[in-house]
């Protein structure tokens, strides 16, 4: 059996480009280059049938270390809590007040980008604190 070498994380959403650009800002990702022969993604999009325009967008780690994120338009809205979510590791190695300060600082950076603060899970005897948030379309993620 071959080993899996890459993974892509796919988001269902109503506005793929908007959500992709949000995650680019959160993670320091970039929009990949358009297909050869196109000056930009808008030029490429104009070649698609109207129903396919704006149907998908992607974001990639410029260092090539993180997974590719793919955003696809779906007709239905989000209804229930995510079964899978991203943990944005902003407090790794930090504890107590120093960790809370890092989480709060990142939360403050993300809210103007379209994120929503949900609630803080405070440290207990097993876990450090984390901050639960939502992206612009309501997908949960944690500042961890």
pLDDT bracket for residue 2 (50, 70, 90) = low
Determine, yes or no, domain membership for 35: yes
Q: Which residue has the tokens 């704006």?
A: 54
In a domain, 3, yes or no: no
CA 135 → CA 7, 42, 132, distances in Å? 21, 24, 10
Are residue 69 and residue 27 in the same domain, yes or no? yes
- Is there a domain that residue 98 lies in? yes
- For residue 79, being part of any structural domain is answered with no
Residue-level pLDDT at 1: 66
pTM: 0.87
25 backbone dihedrals φ, ψ, rounded to 5°? -65, -40
Please indicate, yes or no, whether residues 63 and 103 belong to a single structural domain of this protein: no
Per residue in 7-19, pLDDT (tens digit) is: 899 999 999 999 9
Decide which of 73, 99, 130 is a domain's last residue.
Answer: 73
91/29 Cα distance (integer angstroms)? 19
Kindly state the percentage of the chain with pLDDT values over 90: 84
Q: Where in the sequence is the domain holding 128, given as residue range(s)?
A: 86-143
Sign of the CA dihedral 86, 89, 91, 92?
positive
Q: Is residue 131 part of a domain?
A: yes
């Amino acid at each position: 059996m071959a080993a899996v070498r890459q993974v892509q994380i796919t988001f269902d959403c109503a506005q793929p480009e908007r959500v992709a650009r949000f995650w680019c800002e959160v993670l320091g990702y970039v929009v990949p280059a358009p297909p050869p022969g196109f000056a930009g993604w808008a030029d490429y999009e104009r070649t698609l049938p109207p129903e396919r325009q704006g149907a998908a967008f992607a974001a990639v780690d410029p260092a090539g270390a993180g997974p590719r994120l793919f955003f696809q338009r779906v007709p239905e809205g989000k209804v229930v809590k995510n079964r899978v979510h991203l943990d944005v590791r902003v407090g790794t190695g930090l504890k107590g007040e120093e960790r809370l300060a890092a989480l709060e600082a990142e939360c403050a950076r993300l809210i103007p980008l379209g994120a929503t603060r949900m609630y803080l899970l405070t440290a207990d005897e097993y876990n450090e604190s984390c901050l639960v948030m939502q992206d612009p379309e309501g997908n949960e993620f944690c500042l961890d």
